[in-house]
Every structure is written in structure tokens, then in C-alpha cells.
Amino acid sequence: MKFTIAIDGPAAAGKGTISRAVAESLGAAHLDTGLLYRAVGVKGGDPVEAARSLSPSDLSRDDLRSLAAGEAASRVAVIPEVRAALVAFQRDFARRDGGAVLDGRDIGTVICPEAEVKLFVTASPETRARRRWQETDEGSYEDVLAQVRARDARDTDRADAPLRPAEDAVKLDTTDLSIEDAVKQACAIIRNRLGR
């Protein structure tokens, strides 16, 4: 059976954690599409060429979860040629047998607008900054909050595939939810939408 679940949202809202748990629960494949952009950003050189030549080994680098990689991803993601180079890979992944869960910023709006289920996971900037700061243990909370706000502005204001919920996406605000509660709510929404 083929089905696609698109989980979008801003940085550190919990979409990656939720996506991995949902994929495991359904026995589906999972793709963190942000890793594609992070890998292109940290690869260096010409970003368009880096996107076109991306390999699986590029996605297993140890530094892809750093704040610097996140900033690099946000910078290269605004380049239309980079986005175009990564779209086909994501669409092919989304329609694999057994189902697929993709998380990112534009899965439900651009990459897989036909996805059977779309979630938009969000949280307040302050909550997301605290999570990211605790996760990376880099810089001060105030610095991370400033980076989160700057990234939000770049991601929502970019001309090509801005961050926004799909019209038919279910919004899930994780500001006041534990990881367990967020996953439980997401799984319930998805199983209901898939009729399981």
C-alpha cells in the first residue's frame, strides 16, 4: 500500500520526533527532508552542484544537527535551483511501497500536495528556542532565540515554497505538550485520516 504523510513546521517544533514515531508506528519509511538541505549547506562549494551530487553518505554526517548546519540549510533552501534538484528525490521517496512519512517545511504545500495526511506542527518561538538550545548546548538561549526568529522570517518570507500550512493540514501546537502527548495526538489524527 502506498500512502504519504506530510509533516511540516518550523525548526524545533517537534516534527522530526513526531515523524519518526509515526513512521515506526505505521511501519512506513521516514525521510527528514531538512537533512537534505543541511547536507547541501555543509557540503560547501557551489550549493546547486552540491544538491545535484548529493549522496546517501552525505546524509550520515555527524555535524548535520548543529546550529551551523541549520543556518546553512536555511541559506541554501532559498536558492530555486537547489530546491529543484532535491524535489524529485523527495517525491520518489514519498510514493514508495509500504508508505512514507516526510517531514520538512513545504512537503504538504509543494513536494507532496496530494499527500493523504498533512500535519503542520508548530510551537511558540520561545519554546522552540529553548528546545533547540537544550538539544545543541551551543551559545546562549537569547542567541538561539534570535536565530530561531531570523530563520522563521527567512523561511516564511522566501519567494520559493515559503513555510506555511497546507490548506487541508491539521495544525498541532506542541508548545505545552510533552513529547509523548504530541506523538499520541499526531498518531491519532493520522490513523483517523487513514481510516485505521
| Contacts within 8 Å (CB) and 24+ apart, 29-32 | 29/93, 29/96, 29/98, 29/99, 29/100, 29/101, 30/100, 30/101, 30/102, 30/103, 31/90, 31/93, 31/94, 31/100, 31/101, 31/102, 31/103, 32/103, 32/104
Region 121-138 average pLDDT: 91
100 is in an annotated binding site: no
Distance, in Å, from the CA atom of 33 to the CA atom of 14, rounded to the nearest integer, reads 14
16 is in an annotated binding site: yes
Question: What's residue 54's pLDDT?
Answer: 87
Which position has the grid cell 548535520? 64
Q: What are phi and psi of 112, to 5 degrees?
A: -135, 65
174 is in an annotated binding site: no
pLDDT band at 138; cut points 50, 70, 90: confident
15 is in an annotated binding site: yes
11 is in an annotated binding site: yes
Percentage of the chain modeled with pLDDT above 70: 99
As a three-state string, the secondary structure of 24-82 is HHHCCEEEEHHHHHHHHHHHCCCHHHHHHCCCHHHHHCCCCCCHHHHHHHHHHCCCHHH
**CATH number attached to the domain at 4-191:** 3.40.50.300
More confidently predicted of 11 and 112: 112
17 is in an annotated binding site: yes
Torsion, Cα 8 10 15 17, to 10 degrees, reads 150
Dmax (CA) for the chain in angstroms is 46
The pTM is what?
Answer: 0.84
User: Residues 142-157: pLDDT tens digits?
Assistant: 999 999 999 899 888 8
* Structural contact between residues 158 and 77, judged by C-beta atoms closer than 8 angstroms: yes
Question: What's residue 67's pLDDT?
Answer: 82
**Amino acid (1-letter code) at residue 181:** D
H/E stretch holding 172 reads strand 170-173
List the beta bridge partners of residue 42. Answer: none
pLDDT band at 184; cut points 50, 70, 90: very high
Across all residues in the chain, what is the average pLDDT?
Answer: 92
Distance, in Å, from the CA atom of 63 to the CA atom of 42, rounded to the nearest integer, reads 8
14 is in an annotated binding site: yes
